[in-house]
Structure 1
Amino acid sequence: MTTQPGRDWLDLSSPPQPPPEPPEAPAPSRVSAVRNGLSADSFFTGLAQVRTGAARAGSAAAGHFQPVLAAAAAPLRRAAPIWQAAAQRVGAHPLASRAAGAARRAGALPWGRALLLAGLGALGVAALFLAWCAATLPPLGGRQPSPRTLTVQAEDGTPIARRGVERGRALRLESVSPAMRQAFLAAQDPWFEDGYRLDASGVAAVIGRAFRDTISDGPRSGGPRLTQRLVRRDIIGIAPGAPRSLADRVREAMLVLWLSARESGARILARALDLAPFGPGLVGIDAAARGLFGKEAASLGTAEAAYLAGLSLAPGLQPDRDVTAVRALGRAVLDGMVMRGTLSAAEAAEAGRSLDGLSPAGATPVTRSGFPDLVLAEAADRLGPAAPREAVVRTTLDRGLQAMAEAAAERRLDAAGRAGARAGLLVLGPDGGVQAVVAGGAPLPDTPEARRAASASLRHLGRDGRPVYDRLVAGAMPAAERRTALLTLLAGLTRPPEESDDPASRDGVFVGSVGDLLVGTSVSGTAAENGAGDGPEAFFQDVAAQLAKARPAPPVAEAREGARETGSTARPSARPAWQNPGERPASSPILRGVPRVIDTGRLRLDGQNVRLAGVEGQGGAFAREFRQYLRRREVTCQPAGGADLYRCRAGEQDLSEVVLFNGGGRAAPGAPPDLQAAEAGAKARKAGVWQ
């Protein structure tokens, strides 16, 4: 074996030589014993003494363990007659004799023994599978989720919504109000208290129901529906409609049979109340009563019990967002209580009137609009796959503007008589972020337009006390694009709820600008006061008047063309800071396409050079990183004042801000405040050129 000079590895040109094998040691023999000075007689005499000692030690150990073995075998000996009698009865049964005869006849066939062995093997595999399913049963206490809190804040840091995971205390059935118990049974299983027998047909029915993908809503046959839903959804953790394996179905049948045979109906009901979800992340009647109504479970009234029981039917609904949908489910629960005979028709009507005005704690026009949930969905990508213990999300929502919008909506509803009327409002800032929102119908749907508005509204994100994302100011959105976004979002806010019995016709919407804000209003479900559209326009004028009192006029007037586009007589907004009022940026065309990176401040797009506004670019490694960031993405460049000066965006990201935020360049003299803030963030983090 050779090695080349200066290398640490072997030269594979010469095959390695195997190392010499050590010689085997010869077995001891009488000749070797004699050569070592021992005689053959003494050698075999020693072996005989060793065998004699081992026999004596074994006898002593057997005498020591004999009483223990006898005591352990005593119950088996006492049970032997029972097993023998049972075996005799089984053997004397006609079916046993027929089975034995069939086995003998099958064994006489050419392939009989092979088929018999295959059947016995299949039975053995099935027995092992059942034993494995029994050994891997989940605990009856259900899963223990880790508590976490997600807080959505307004622009000034005031909380506007809270989301998270909370598990309540385990309560005895006597600690839950009778109204809550009856409402829960009316929602989950009206026939739960009917008697049933767990005989052979009942066991077969339980097993058959476990293998069905849906849980029957009708009267049960075999086992209670409440027990089956408790096992499938709350103990095993299978979401409705989710695929289930064969092992999951077998475990479900085992647990349903176990609970039905070992626990009383009251104990099963208490366990179901403790494990039932009452909204995303809210588990148990204790957590639901305290979190939604601020009271103990023993103090819940009929209307509150119907609201919570309706939530248990659709745990995907948010209690403070989908209030109209949960109320509709609560009215169905009241009908079920009347059917069960636990509530009279007059009591149900009175509880229904209370239910119509019932809202859980924390339900506001902002939460009912769905805006906080859209922002959290947009922030989920930045939070990462691991769930945080605590997260804080700050948005563009202006608390003062929101209060004015809610007050104006209340005045509009009072003027309409409130009989089926709905008033909706949406205010977008210059960057497209939501600054005020009032739901006039159903919550905002999760659409691409709503996601873009949520992304523009996201300002700060903290995870477990550490900042994750910080965007102080976003780039301005073109007036036409912002108007289109507002109309799309307003149409989603003002659509009638799906549970509405009488979806009234929409009176119309009105869109106009107030300073640098774009405001859209809608009044639905009532006849126009002085012709079509008067309601929404009066609503808008009320909001505009309140804004004019609360906010000073901007220093620079917006072009009248923008005011004519929105159809408003209100004061126009200011020109973006990076534009030069003495120049005409509209003369330069808008560029779109996949750019080629020259440096971090210059692009080659559509056959011409483009300078990013407010950026002094860098080459070398920073340019390569910028090119990798774009990765053949399409960009849109708006003229920003100079002949080749543009403000470019890739999707929702302003490229000037991206470069400065990552330290890929320096802010040019006279750069707008949003770019200076991005450069300050890079300096604080010592990123890029600021290392």
Structure 2
Amino acid sequence: MVADPMTTQPGRDWLDLSSPPQPPPERPEASSPSRVGPARSRLPPGVLSLSAGLAQVRAGAARAGSQAAGHLQPVLAAAAGPLRRVAPAWQGAAERVGAHPLAARAAGAARRAGALPWGRALLLAGLGGASLAALFLVWCAATLPPLSGSRPSPRTLTIQAEDGTPVARRDVVRGQPLPLDAVSPAMRQAFLAAQDPWFEDGYRLDAAGVAAVIGRAFRDTISDGPRSGGPRLTQRLVRRDLIGAAPGQPRSLADRVREAMLVLWLSVRESDARILARALDLARFGPGLTGIDAAARALFNKAAVSLDTPEAAYLAGLTLAPGLQPDRDVNAARALGHAVLDGMVMRGTLGATEAGQAGRALDGLSPVGTTPVTRSGFPDLVLAEAAGRLGPGWPREAVLRTTLDRDLQAMAETAVERRLDAAGRGGARAGFLALGPDGGVQAVVAGGASLVDTPEARRAASASLRHLGRDGRPVYDRLVAGPMPAAERRTALLGLLAGLARPPESTDDPSSRDGLFIGPVGDLLVGTYLSGAAAENGAGDGPEALFQDFSAQVAKARPAPPVSEAREGARETGSTTRPASRPAWQNPGERPTATPALRGVPRVIDTGRLRLDGQSVRLAGVEGQGGTLAREFRQYLRRREVTCQPAGGADLYRCRAGDQDLSEVVLFNGAGRAAPGAPPDLQAAEASAKARKAGVWQ
């Protein structure tokens, strides 16, 4: 049998023409080799795997987007409520933005980016970032601080002297909100001059203004120049008083965003008068003192509506440096007050003549309760030392007792006032410090600046702390303190006295005219300082005269016991040391030597003291006076020679100018008072001055 050649060729499939044609079986297009075109059949296997992976990524992205939309739907629904309230206000703006040519171009760019292979992924990433930013803004808006500010609980700390007498108070208090008409016009104008002289100028909160507000919110400092696009007072109110950002401290991104939101909100919704009233109610006038109502009552004991121009300038100056203590940093507050007066003149709300009168009144202005003790900074220094014992946070009520001796303090203040009067107060400054045996401060008067927080000052504050009570219960008691070594106490006194004598800033005070004097008074170590116009009588005379004045007052108030009693007390106690109550300048163990007579042209220290041949001379039977009486006495003795004979004391003399006894001349003219135990002729001269109402007896 011969095979058909048409059926014997290998690799060929021939249709059976005798049977009808059958449709081919259906197969997936991607897996059928016969369906793949010539070009695709030649692609490498790796490219085919990449295409399949991209398809899976797109499918996964679609599923993730659907799930994210499901999770975000409740959040967006909750945020839709506040947005619906502001939708009508923004609808017109949205329509204008949509009609802008740039919006059409942006939409076209988005469509073209979506057509690219990676465009959809980038578009989804951009939409995700925008959603996160929107959620961040919503969170910042939900956590905005209240516009009324925080209300701290009132707290009081009282600093006492050794006998329990209050010498200073430190309170945490906030005043009541006041309408703008309840604040004096002088206070309003002074506050604007200090915070924002351009606050009342017109401005537009347009696109440029909004951009300026946002830009300033992201800057760490607030410019003092003219504003552009928004009020600086509003920004300071928000940043400092509502958010509570301290100057120079880092701020978070959320705080910056909240600041921009609040500034825009207040600028749109509230009037300038309401913003000014809110700023006055939240302003800080010192540590723990918030609001114009509290400041006016605490510092000047009057309502805010009764503040005059000098008081308003003082308070407005405190808002420029809230860290100043009003009853301690008086000189610094006055300097800021003068700057406020200059700002009021610049704004045109105060004339030059009125500003000059207010400036002179400001130079003598001090808050209620200001004393030499508070100005020395001693209460704040002891409070800083006791802060660790008080525990975290201030208690509602606390009492702090110190070693301050009120009698010695009164003597020190009297001696300082006499020296300043003797110098004519022409720029003179006097300081005084007395340390006890344990190094505690028993009397202090600041001559230039307050005590600074140094290691020496901290040791003195620690030694000065005697009792500390918190909410009615004792926390710390130190009834007995050990003595401090003499050399260490002297070093501490020198360091503290240098701080007290430090001149105020921008004060021309040549150091060549300064003088210091240190010496013992009983068991006290006393240091004195005098500078300025007091040096006209000699740089060394003033501090020594101040020391001697204080010593004489102590000797009169606390006389030394007789020698026999002192020896008897030493015999009973077995002590061989001299009694501590005896002033150190007395030495009963030595016989007084004859003092020679003095002759020459004197320099007047006061009406009871002269400087002759380099020696201090005290007129017998006279308690001298300074000031105008001392200047008149100096005019009386101008270039006249005097002769002084010893009168029994180390520096006690009866002096004559020609035939006139100077002690009698002083008392007859009422330029001084007779000392206890004065001779009858001097007492008669004083009685004559009293009858005629001459000098001090007017």
Q: TM-score, normalised by structure 1?
A: 0.68
Is residue 418 of structure 2 the alignment partner of residue 439 of structure 1?
Answer: no
Q: Which amino acid aligns with 1:149?
A: T
Is the 8 Å Cα contact of residues 513 and 539 (structure 2) preserved in structure 1? no
Superposed CA deviations along residues 155-208 of structure 1, whole A, max 9, x for unmatched, are: 000000000201001111001000000000000000000000001100000000
Is the 8 Å Cα contact of residues 328 and 499 (structure 1) preserved in structure 2? no
- Equivalence for 2:179: 172
Aligned-pair distance for 1:110?
3.0
Please point out which of 336, 350, 354 is paired with 1:343: 350
Aligned-pair distance for 1:365?
0.2
Quote the Cα distance in structure 2 between the aligned partners of 1:98 and 1:215: 38
Quote the Cα distance in structure 1 between the aligned partners of 2:435 and 2:371: 19
1:548-587 equivalences in 2 (<5 Å): 548-553=555-560, 555=566, 569=585
Quote the Cα distance in structure 2 between the aligned partners of 1:559 and 1:166: 53
Between 486-495 and 99-108, report the one with greater CA deviation.
99-108
Is residue 271 of structure 2 the alignment partner of residue 255 of structure 1?
Answer: no
Is residue 161 of structure 2 the alignment partner of residue 145 of structure 1?
Answer: no
- Secondary structure at 1:526 match in 2: helix
Is the 8 Å Cα contact of residues 428 and 534 (structure 2) preserved in structure 1? no
- Secondary structure at 2:164 match in 1: coil
**CA 1:435–1:303 in structure 2 vs 1: closer, same or farther (change >3 Å)?**
same
Is the 8 Å Cα contact of residues 529 and 535 (structure 1) preserved in structure 2? no
**CA 1:289–1:570 in structure 2 vs 1: closer, same or farther (change >3 Å)?**
farther
1:256-275 equivalences in 2 (<5 Å): 256-275=263-282
Is the 8 Å Cα contact of residues 422 and 534 (structure 2) preserved in structure 1? no
Is the 8 Å Cα contact of residues 296 and 302 (structure 2) preserved in structure 1? yes
Is residue 287 of structure 2 the alignment partner of residue 280 of structure 1?
Answer: yes
Is residue 362 of structure 2 the alignment partner of residue 355 of structure 1?
Answer: yes
- Equivalence for 2:28: none
Aligned-pair distance for 1:222?
1.0
Quote the Cα distance in structure 2 between the aligned partners of 1:504 and 1:419: 16
- Equivalence for 2:473: 466
- Equivalence for 1:195: 202
Is residue 431 of structure 2 the alignment partner of residue 424 of structure 1?
Answer: yes
Could you list the structure 1 runs, at least 4 aligned residues long, displaced by more than 6 angstroms after superposition.
85-90, 557-560
Is the 8 Å Cα contact of residues 329 and 450 (structure 2) preserved in structure 1? yes
- Secondary structure at 1:150 match in 2: strand
Is residue 408 of structure 2 the alignment partner of residue 392 of structure 1?
Answer: no
Quote the Cα distance in structure 1 between the aligned partners of 2:586 and 2:186: 54
Please point out which of 520, 526, 534 is paired with 2:533: 526
Please point out which of 87, 101, 107 is paired with 1:100: 107
Is the 8 Å Cα contact of residues 507 and 535 (structure 1) preserved in structure 2? no
**CA 1:103–1:291 in structure 2 vs 1: closer, same or farther (change >3 Å)?**
same
Quote the Cα distance in structure 2 between the aligned partners of 1:249 and 1:303: 36
Aligned-pair distance for 1:528?
2.7
Is the 8 Å Cα contact of residues 513 and 535 (structure 2) preserved in structure 1? no
Superposed CA deviations along residues 305-356 of structure 1, whole A, max 9, x for unmatched, are: 0000000110100000000000000000000000000011000000000000
Quote the Cα distance in structure 2 between the aligned partners of 1:86 and 1:332: 45
Is residue 381 of structure 2 the alignment partner of residue 374 of structure 1?
Answer: yes
**CA 1:255–1:96 in structure 2 vs 1: closer, same or farther (change >3 Å)?**
same
Q: Which amino acid aligns with 2:442?
A: Q
Is residue 231 of structure 2 the alignment partner of residue 242 of structure 1?
Answer: no
Is the 8 Å Cα contact of residues 513 and 571 (structure 1) preserved in structure 2? no
Please point out which of 66, 91, 109 is paired with 2:116: 109
Q: TM-score, normalised by structure 2?
A: 0.67
Quote the Cα distance in structure 2 between the aligned partners of 1:237 and 1:398: 40
Aligned length: 489
Superposed CA deviations along residues 525-564 of structure 1, whole A, max 9, x for unmatched, are: 125355331110010000011011112437469979x99x
Is the 8 Å Cα contact of residues 190 and 313 (structure 2) preserved in structure 1? yes
**CA 1:101–1:206 in structure 2 vs 1: closer, same or farther (change >3 Å)?**
same
**CA 1:99–1:519 in structure 2 vs 1: closer, same or farther (change >3 Å)?**
same
Is residue 224 of structure 2 the alignment partner of residue 208 of structure 1?
Answer: no
Is residue 224 of structure 2 the alignment partner of residue 224 of structure 1?
Answer: no
**How much identity, in percent, do the aligned residues show?**
82
Aligned-pair distance for 1:95?
2.7
Q: Which amino acid aligns with 2:467?
A: H
> Of the two, which has the highest radius of gyration?
2
Is the 8 Å Cα contact of residues 182 and 337 (structure 1) preserved in structure 2? yes
**CA 1:154–1:91 in structure 2 vs 1: closer, same or farther (change >3 Å)?**
closer
Is the 8 Å Cα contact of residues 515 and 553 (structure 1) preserved in structure 2? no
Superposed CA deviations along residues 346-405 of structure 1, whole A, max 9, x for unmatched, are: 000000000000000011000000000000000000001132001100000000110110
Is residue 528 of structure 2 the alignment partner of residue 512 of structure 1?
Answer: no
- The Cα RMSD (Å) is 2.3
- Secondary structure at 1:295 match in 2: coil
Q: Which amino acid aligns with 1:154?
A: A
Aligned-pair distance for 1:118?
0.8
